[in-house]
Amino acid sequence: MAETPSTDLAALNDIDRLIHEPGRLMLMALLYVVRSADFTFLMSQTGLTWGNLSAHMTRLEEAGYIQVEKSFKGRRPNTMLSLTPQGREAFKIYRRNMKHILDDLPE
Amino acid sequence: MSTSTISLKELERKAFRSAYQDGLMDIYLGGTIASFTVFAETLQSTDGLTTWQRFLIFLAGCVISNLIFWVGKIFITVPRIGQVKFRPARQRRIRTLIIVLSVIVGVQVAIVAFQVALWQIPALRSWLGFPEIPQSMGTLIVAVVGALFVGPGMTVMAYFIDFPRGYYIAAVWSLGVFCLVWFDSALFYLAAGLLIILPGIFLFIRFVIQHPLPPRELLNG
């Protein structure tokens, strides 16, 4: 059954604010399209500084949206980041909600 | 503020293609192609090398190209742009590439085998009703078949591994093979290899300049 378009701006409240922040949105989008990536790759693709990236990652990890896998390659630490199933689902919902809300806006 | 839309598909493609921005793939392919020059028939009649010596030179060229590729990836590219693992769809594309390439190579081998059979067994040629091919026409056919031997394979590879410069490599390589046979000069084939390596070297230098090494304490801490 087709959903009736809502005229209630309160629908915007359903948007996941944790993902909505531009820096975190970039990270979530990037991690959504790959299986996993390390800090250096995320920095080179998003242009975020190490400090910013680290802060966003901590927030997303606390929310259970990303998982951090630490290992060693030889003597060098290697940290790979990936979306958890919960993070993947949250991003899907965020994307659907944003499309849904913005699609019917007049020009 | 940018008004362009964000496409997740394009985002994934951009991330995937970032692996090629260092030019190492071009250097590797160009080096391997250039090494094959040692088997050119024109050289074989003048340089006095045995088949084994020729094979060793070719093998050395391949090993050096391979080493440049892997050492460059491990010690120069990855520390600068990091590492990423892609989703299974990319693996599936590689599997499809292997199947498609196998079919192409199979067809090419069949065509060459048929061609050789026609030349070697005149009875078969007359039985099939093919006219005798004059020497000049024969060279043209070999040149075209040679070019078609390498071009489609490289084009298909470029498509499946999402490597746009692969189309340029396919064209230059095909032209190199054609000219090698048609003009009977190994220089053309060597030039094709160099025309593939040179943009790779340019890209590699640009990559190193544009992506300085991050401070040691930030590397995947």
pLDDT in tens, B43-72: 666 767 788 888 888 899 999 999 999 999
Please name the residue of chain B whose CA is at the shortest distance from the CA of residue A79. B220
Q: What is the average pLDDT score of chain B?
A: 86
A98 reaches B (C-beta below 8 A): no
A50 reaches B (C-beta below 8 A): yes
- CB A31 within 8 Å of CB A84: no
> In angstroms, rounded to a whole number, what is the distance separating the alpha carbons of residues A47 and A30?
12
In this prediction, residue B129 carries a pLDDT of 78
pLDDT band per the 50, 70, 90 thresholds, residue A98:
confident
Question: Average pLDDT, stretch B128-152?
Answer: 81
In the predicted structure, residue B75 carries a pLDDT above the cut 80: yes
In this prediction, residue A36 carries a pLDDT of 93
Cβ contact (<8 Å) for B220 and A77? yes
In the predicted structure, residue B143 carries a pLDDT above the cut 80: yes
In this prediction, residue A86 carries a pLDDT of 96
3 state SS of A80 = strand
Task: Specify the DSSP class assigned to residue A21.
Answer: S
The least confident of A25-29, B30-34, B44-48 is: B44-48
Mutate to test the interface with A, among B3, B10, B87, B220 (most CBs of A within 10 A): B220
The least confident of A48-52, A96-100, B205-209 is: A96-100
> In angstroms, rounded to a whole number, what is the distance separating the alpha carbons of residues B124 and A21?
74
Task: Retrieve residue B178's tokens.
Answer: 């054609």
Cβ contact (<8 Å) for A41 and B82? yes
Cβ contact (<8 Å) for B11 and A37? no
Q: How far is CA A79 from CA A27, A103, B48, B63, B220, in A?
A: 15, 38, 55, 31, 6
Q: How far is A82 from chain B (nearest CA, A)?
A: 10
> In angstroms, rounded to a whole number, what is the distance separating the alpha carbons of residues A61 and A83?
9
In this prediction, residue B120 carries a pLDDT of 79
In the predicted structure, residue B3 carries a pLDDT above the cut 50: no
Q: Is A99 left (phi over 0), alpha (psi -120 to 50) or beta?
A: alpha
pTM, two decimals, is 0.80
Q: Residue A68 CB: number of other CB atoms within 10 A?
A: 14
In this prediction, residue B55 carries a pLDDT of 85
φ, ψ (nearest 5 deg) of residue B213: -65, 125
Q: What is the average pLDDT score of chain A?
A: 85
In the predicted structure, residue B119 carries a pLDDT above the cut 80: no
Question: Average pLDDT, stretch A99-103?
Answer: 77
Cβ contact (<8 Å) for B220 and A76? yes
3 state SS of B141 = helix
In this prediction, residue B145 carries a pLDDT of 84
In the predicted structure, residue A95 carries a pLDDT above the cut 80: yes
Task: Specify the DSSP class assigned to residue B177.
Answer: H
In this prediction, residue A44 carries a pLDDT of 87
Nearest to A44 among B85, B211, B219 (CB): B211
- CB A76 within 8 Å of CB B221: no
Which residues of A fall within a CB distance of 8 Å from B214? 40, 43, 50
Higher-confidence residue: A8 or B59? B59
In the predicted structure, residue B12 carries a pLDDT above the cut 50: yes
The least confident of A8-12, A94-98, B141-145, B166-170 is: A8-12
pLDDT band per the 50, 70, 90 thresholds, residue B177:
very high
The least confident of A80-94, B4-18, B63-77 is: B4-18
Nearest to A78 among B12, B18, B220 (CB): B220
In this prediction, residue A1 carries a pLDDT of 44
A84 reaches B (C-beta below 8 A): no
In the predicted structure, residue B189 carries a pLDDT above the cut 70: yes
In this prediction, residue B154 carries a pLDDT of 92
pLDDT in tens, A56-77: 999 999 999 999 988 887 777 7
In the predicted structure, residue B24 carries a pLDDT above the cut 90: yes
Q: How far is CA A71 from CA A42, A60, A68, A76, B76, in A?
A: 17, 20, 10, 9, 21
